[in-house]
Amino acid sequence: MIPSSFPPKEEIARLSARMLLEIEAVHFNAEKPYIYASGLPGPTYIDCRKLISFPRIRATLMDFLTVTVMRDAGFEAFDNVAGGETAGIPFAALVAERLALPMTYVRKKPKGYGRNARIEGAMAEGQRVLLVEDLTTDGGSKLSFVDAIRETGATCGHTAVIFYYGIFPETEKTLGDHGIALHYLCTWWDVLAEARKQQSFDEATLAEVEAFLTNPRVWQEARK
């Protein structure tokens, strides 16, 4: 069913952060930093995949993501919803259901046999495709998915995610230079504010997380 309630963006951000904390999808560890895909360290980690196991939270966040896209991009802006392999697939299916649109998914690379396809499902030339993922850090992984969609003759100018790191200033420029607008529910700053309010972590940990969020490259360089 298409959601018809449009909470303010600030409320969506606060509640989204609260839900991520409630299911313990948020991990802070200043003493033993996590290693990101880039090979660099950081005191924060988020696991949006956990959301699929919590029906009430999952449904609410998918309603939020759907209304965010409709409010920001338009009510009749898309013909197809594509999920990025693998984390984006369930969320794309849930958003497609709410928008009453076809759903497809994009492989990270051709599967190497059969049709050697990267797009699974029916995607037609000229369709306007919304790419859905769980999160974005610096935006780089989205470019390959968007290029694969565009190779079909479809267009893709928008990506929607539950969580956006919001700490790397180059992210939206990277996406914008590729003709992609980013839509999201909350950032690390929203999570940090809610974690302080809920006293989810001790203050020393939160202070270290804030130092990282304020200047992540300097924090990482000091701990290589």
Question: Residue 40's pLDDT is what?
Answer: 81
Tens place of pLDDT per residue across the chain (224 aa): 788 789 999 999 999 999 999 999 999 998 889 988 777 889 999 999 999 999 999 999 999 999 999 999 999 999 999 999 999 999 999 999 999 999 999 999 887 665 668 999 999 999 999 999 999 988 888 999 999 999 999 999 999 999 999 998 889 999 999 999 999 999 999 999 999 999 999 999 999 999 999 999 899 888 87
Count of CA atoms in the C-beta half-sphere (13 A) of 130: 32
**In angstroms, rounded to a whole number, what is the distance separating the alpha carbons of residues 44 and 46?**
7
Tokens at residue 93, please?
């299916």
**In angstroms, rounded to a whole number, what is the distance separating the alpha carbons of residues 141 and 144?**
6
Question: Residue 149's pLDDT is what?
Answer: 97
- In DSSP terms, 120 is beta-bridged to 105
- What are residue 135's phi and psi, to 5 degrees? -155, 170
Of the candidate CATH numbers 1.20.1740.10, 3.30.360.10, 3.40.50.300, 3.40.50.2020, the domain formed by 14-37+53-110+125-186+194-222 belongs to 3.40.50.2020
